[in-house]
């Protein structure tokens, strides 16, 4: 309920622009995520069903009165003394593992709900950080595209003015004008992508979709010698993510259902005790009731439960194999991206700026052509875009590795200037 109140408050009070850092955005997103509220209720329901499976079945009290209104005609005894009937208490006693199997299955279902809730929280956390990383990437790419468009617009305007007085070639002015148009088109595309990602993230954080988000990420902390650059690597013990726990609990639930099916196949006893009144006399009533398995012996029910158990075992094996493959692949992707990140050092950024500054100097001195200058600018723009795309992929790889290992992904998985850590 508190989460939905935060959403409503965000919709009513959100400003046009909200500035928030990665950690605060993650915390807010987890507070208002509907999926987490759903999983909490499902866990509560499974816990209550598990508790409900433990009590014994209620006894049955049956009271009957015979020949009501005509008792004197049958017994010759007037009034209440002539009433006949019985009061019998029946206590069902399951014979076999029907009850213990039901308890086992219910507790396994509770473990499934708990593991599923953990999986949901890890998934929501990973999705939030992935969305935050994508929005951060789009913000940087948008700013870069806008700066390039404005710079080319200034260059095209200057060349057009110079061409008008014969101080520049008309062909150069035309090329600059075409480059400017391409830059504005590129900017428009970046604006569209950024708007879509920002609206989706605003929704996840409980803001109005029209809210403009401005995200801030911290600078990456340098790794110490011998430590990996992504968090959680040195956690002791083998990873046991929630998906594997769910698969394991489903096997236990299926085994419990098999025990129930076998227990149902064995007749239950229902001892009866009570009092019986007949002919004005009252006596003790003792009986025993049980089902006679003449027609339904439950063989197919047991066979179906065993098939469900085998299915759960196969599903667990499939989950384990897919998880192992995904984890190995994600770790390889992260290692590959970190190797690539070592090239994005200070000298790489110096070369990035020197590429354009050298071409501009040559063009001003008349030693270079406009085409060389525009090519240098395009090369710089592409290299810068590649760097920011790599940075976003690096964030995503860190998030995926932590998620597959079943650990909560920390907000520190997203940070800027990662080349200081990846070296």
For 88, the enclosing helix (H) or strand (E) is strand 84-90
More confident residue, 221 or 358: 358
Q: Lowest mean pLDDT: which of 102-106, 130-134, 234-238? A: 234-238
pLDDT of residue 413 exceeding 60, the answer is: yes
CA–CA dist 270, 91 (Å, integer): 5
Question: Which pLDDT does position 223 carry in this prediction?
Answer: 52
More confident residue, 345 or 145: 145
Q: Lowest mean pLDDT: which of 96-100, 338-342, 357-361? A: 96-100
Which pLDDT band, with edges at 50, 70 and 90, does 72 fall under? low
Share of the chain above pLDDT 70, in %: 90
CA–CA dist 259, 268 (Å, integer): 14
Question: Which pLDDT does position 18 carry in this prediction?
Answer: 87
Query: Could you tell me the domains of the chain?
Result: 2-57+92-422 (1.20.1600.10)
Task: Provide DSSP, 335-399.
Answer: HHHHHHHTT-SHHHHHHHHHHHHHHHHHHHTTSS-HHHHHHHHHHHHHHHHHHHHHHHHHHHHHH
For 418, other C-beta atoms within 10 Å of its C-beta total 21
CA–CA dist 410, 417 (Å, integer): 18
**Model confidence pLDDT, tens digit, residues 276-335:** 888 778 889 898 888 887 887 778 888 999 999 999 999 999 999 999 999 999 999 999
**Model confidence pLDDT, tens digit, residues 245-284:** 999 999 999 999 888 888 887 888 889 999 988 877 888 9
The answer to whether 266 and 93 are in contact (CB under 8 A) is no
Between the two ends of the chain, the Cα-to-Cα distance in Å is 46
Read off the pTM: 0.79
Q: Lowest mean pLDDT: which of 28-42, 60-74, 135-149, 190-204? A: 60-74
CA–CA dist 413, 331 (Å, integer): 15
Name the average pLDDT for the chain: 85
Question: Which pLDDT does position 324 carry in this prediction?
Answer: 92
**Model confidence pLDDT, tens digit, residues 331-352:** 999 999 999 988 888 888 888 8
CA–CA dist 317, 243 (Å, integer): 12
Opening angle at CA 373, ends 368 and 375, nearest 5: 125
């Amino acid at each position: 309920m508190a989460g939905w109140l935060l959403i409503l408050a965000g919709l009513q009070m959100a400003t046009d622009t909200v500035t928030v850092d990665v950690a605060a955005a993650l915390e807010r997103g987890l507070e208002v995520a509907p999926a987490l509220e759903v999983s909490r209720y499902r866990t509560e329901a499974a816990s209550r069903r598990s508790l409900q499976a433990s009590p014994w079945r209620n006894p049955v009290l049956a009271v009957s009165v015979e020949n009501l209104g005509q008792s004197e005609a049958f017994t010759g005894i007037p009034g209440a003394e002539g009433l006949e009937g019985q009061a019998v208490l029946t206590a069902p006693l399951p014979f076999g593992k029907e009850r213990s199997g039901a308890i086992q299955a219910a507790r396994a279902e509770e473990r499934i709900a708990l593991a599923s809730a953990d999986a949901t929280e890890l998934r929501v956390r990973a999705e939030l950080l992935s969305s935050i990383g994508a929005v951060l990437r789009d913000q940087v790419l948008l700013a870069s595209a806008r700066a390039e468009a404005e710079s080319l617009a200034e260059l095209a305007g200057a060349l057009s003015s110079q061409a008008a007085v014969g101080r520049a070639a008309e062909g150069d002015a035309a090329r600059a004008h075409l480059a400017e148009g391409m830059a504005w088109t590129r900017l428009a595309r970046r604006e569209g992508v950024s708007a879509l990602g920002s609206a989706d993230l605003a929704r996840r954080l409980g803001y109005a979709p029209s809210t403009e988000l401005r995200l801030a990420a911290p600078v990456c902390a340098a790794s110490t010698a011998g430590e990996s650059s992504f968090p959680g690597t040195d956690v002791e013990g083998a990873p046991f993510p929630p998906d594997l726990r769910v698969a394991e609990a489903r096997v236990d639930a299926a085994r419990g259902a098999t025990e129930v099916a076998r227990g149902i196949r064995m007749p239950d006893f229902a001892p009866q005790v009570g009092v019986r009144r007949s002919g004005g006399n009252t006596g003790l009533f003792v009986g025993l009731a049980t089902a006679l398995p003449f027609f339904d012996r439950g063989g197919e029910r047991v066979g179906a439960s065993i098939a469900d158990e085998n299915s759960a075992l196969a599903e667990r094996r499939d989950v384990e194999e897919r998880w192992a493959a995904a984890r190995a692949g994600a770790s390889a992707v992260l290692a590959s991206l970190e190797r690539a990140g070592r090239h994005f050092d200070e000298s790489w950024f110096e070369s990035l700026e020197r590429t354009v500054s050298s071409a501009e100097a040559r063009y001003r001195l008349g030693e270079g052509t406009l085409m060389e200058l525009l090519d240098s600018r395009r090369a710089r723009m592409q290299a810068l875009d590649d760097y920011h795309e790599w940075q976003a992929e690096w964030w995503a790889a860190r998030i995926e590795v932590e998620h597959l290992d079943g650990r909560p992904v920390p907000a520190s998985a997203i940070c800027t200037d990662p080349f200081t850590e990846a070296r």
